[in-house]
């Protein structure tokens, strides 16, 4: 497997730091002007004991004007009040032995496909409690529209009910609704389904995002943040899920069988707000969202591709170049987010090593910044064991830093865009989240995209073993996950 972090180009990094300096100067221009103006006033008063009243009045009005403009131009703080993850009932659980037994019945004329799925499951890192919807547990499977709607209503409504109960939010107080689901896009939309169920207000700003892959959850967060800058005193609800029912592949292409072994039921509902009343109550404050899109490159565009096989059966084709392309996207994302989160000391080391490689020793190994100095917790998309392994290696993370990702993959499987919230819930359930801690969420998606979000914990969060998706099982984790589990 190629490394996930290819060597960054010197020109792109240099341009990034020039851009950062320009952004810093532009963002703080008014502040600098105020400082210079104040210093000039103090110097003038110091040189002369006689102060012209008109001069003093005009100067004071000018200072007040600049201060008002500075205050009005400040961005709205976006708070993450709370969130809820869907926990499937025990009847939905599909142990590996049951999954393979069903595959033997469904694919009885395709022994190589059965063997391949068994081999992938043995190395997947998934446990025995992951869940699949009713339509796929049936024999034969029923991946039709009606069953897909049943799964969507079960996952989305359960997540919404939990969120409303936890926050005490009334449906009429929701101003913005964003639902993301990549592969199931019915008419009316899933966002319209939520509006109909909860009788939301007529002037609600609703959006339905589809086809954007496992990173769509952070795209929804970014969209909600931008909308909250425009609409003050508003509440935004983001629902992230992936509907498995219509996407179960029953063909023989290995690249299209792999998603069957990884993707499982899951969903999350998140409440964001810019109300100042949530300042002390909210769990987190959003600091940064950085999005990287490699869709201009043909290989990146097609590395996760929905298509028909030779038998005209639809599935998701995962290219063998996926990890290399993900590495390129992650590299670009890191170059963008590093100046925003890394301490000055780490940025200086990075700059010195960059100059050293350029002018003295081009063969010198590129320096990878130590993000552990800037971020306490990491939520890496639980897309598969290989993804977590490579990010741990190349970002030089400890086993504890990727524990939430590994345990989420084991307990719930790849739940697509909602996996980040199961991981965050794991960290909270372990009682590790303290006021002031920073969380870095990293997600990959088709297209190809790599998106990041950085949150700051607003208050210490107490461990609750009887609430959330990890209720009644958090004490069993972490557990050792063998490289291969023989079926």
Residues designated catalytic = 214, 293, 377, 381, 410, 414
- Structure token digits, residue 386: 């290989």
The answer to whether 422 and 415 are in contact (CB under 8 A) is: yes
- Structure token digits, residue 303: 């590395």
User: What is the spatial distance between Cα 372 and Cα 455, in angstroms, rounded to a whole number?
Assistant: 15
**List of residues 6+ apart from 143 with CB closer than 8 A:** 135, 136, 245, 246, 247, 248
């Amino acid at each position: 497997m190629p490394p996930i972090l290819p060597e960054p180009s010197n020109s792109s990094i240099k341009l990034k730091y020039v851009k950062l300096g320009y952004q810093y100067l532009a963002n703080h221009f008014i502040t600098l002007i105020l400082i210079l103006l104040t210093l000039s006033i103090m110097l003038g008063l110091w040189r002369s004991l006689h102060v012209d009243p008109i001069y003093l009045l005009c100067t004071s009005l000018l200072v007040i004007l600049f201060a008002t403009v500075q205050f009005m131009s400040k961005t709205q703080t976006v708070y993450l009040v709370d969130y809820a993850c869907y926990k499937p009932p025990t009847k939905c659980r599909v142990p590996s032995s049951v999954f393979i037994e069903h595959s033997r019945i469904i694919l009885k004329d395709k022994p190589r496909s059965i063997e391949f799925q068994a081999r992938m499951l043995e190395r997947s890192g998934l446990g025995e409690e992951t869940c699949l919807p009713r339509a796929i547990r049936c024999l034969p499977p029923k991946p039709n529209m009606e069953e897909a709607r049943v799964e969507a209503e079960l996952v989305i409504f359960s997540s919404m009910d939990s969120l409303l109960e936890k926050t005490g939010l009334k449906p009429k107080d929701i101003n913005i609704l964003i639902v993301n689901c990549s592969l199931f896009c019915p008419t009316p939309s899933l966002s319209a389904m939520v509006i109909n169920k909860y009788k939301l207000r007529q002037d609600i700003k609703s959006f339905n995002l589809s086809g954007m892959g496992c990173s769509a959850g952070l795209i929804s967060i970014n969209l909600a943040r931008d909308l909250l800058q425009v609409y003050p005193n508003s509440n935004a609800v983001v629902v992230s899920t992936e509907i498995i029912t219509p996407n179960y592949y029953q063909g023989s292409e290995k690249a299209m069988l792999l998603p069957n072994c990884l993707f499982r039921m899951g969903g999350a509902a998140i409440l964001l707000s810019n109300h100042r009343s949530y300042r002390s109550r909210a769990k987190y404050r959003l600091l940064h969202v950085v999005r990287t899109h490699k869709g201009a490159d043909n290989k990146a565009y097609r590395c996760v591709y929905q298509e028909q096989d030779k038998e005209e059966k639809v599935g998701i084709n995962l290219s063998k170049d996926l990890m290399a392309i993900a590495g390129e996207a992650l590299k670009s994302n890191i170059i963008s987010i590093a100046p925003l989160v890394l301490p000055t000391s780490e940025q200086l080391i990075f700059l010195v090593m960059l100059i050293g490689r350029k002018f003295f020793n081009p063969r010198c190994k590129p320096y990878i910044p130590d993000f552990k100095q800037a971020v306490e917790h990491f939520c890496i998309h639980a897309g598969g064991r290989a993804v977590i392994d490579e990010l741990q290696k190349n970002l030089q993370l400890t086993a504890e830093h990727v524990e939430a990702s590994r345990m989420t993959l084991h307990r719930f499987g790849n739940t697509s865009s909602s996996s980040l919230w199961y991981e965050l819930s794991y960290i909270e359930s372990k009682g590790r989240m303290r006021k002031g801690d920073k969380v870095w969420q990293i997600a990959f998606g088709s297209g190809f995209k790599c998106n990041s979000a950085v949150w700051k914990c607003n208050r210490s969060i107490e461990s609750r073993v009887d609430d959330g998706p990890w209720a009644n099982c958090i004490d069993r984790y972490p557990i050792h996950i063998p490289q291969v589990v023989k079926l």
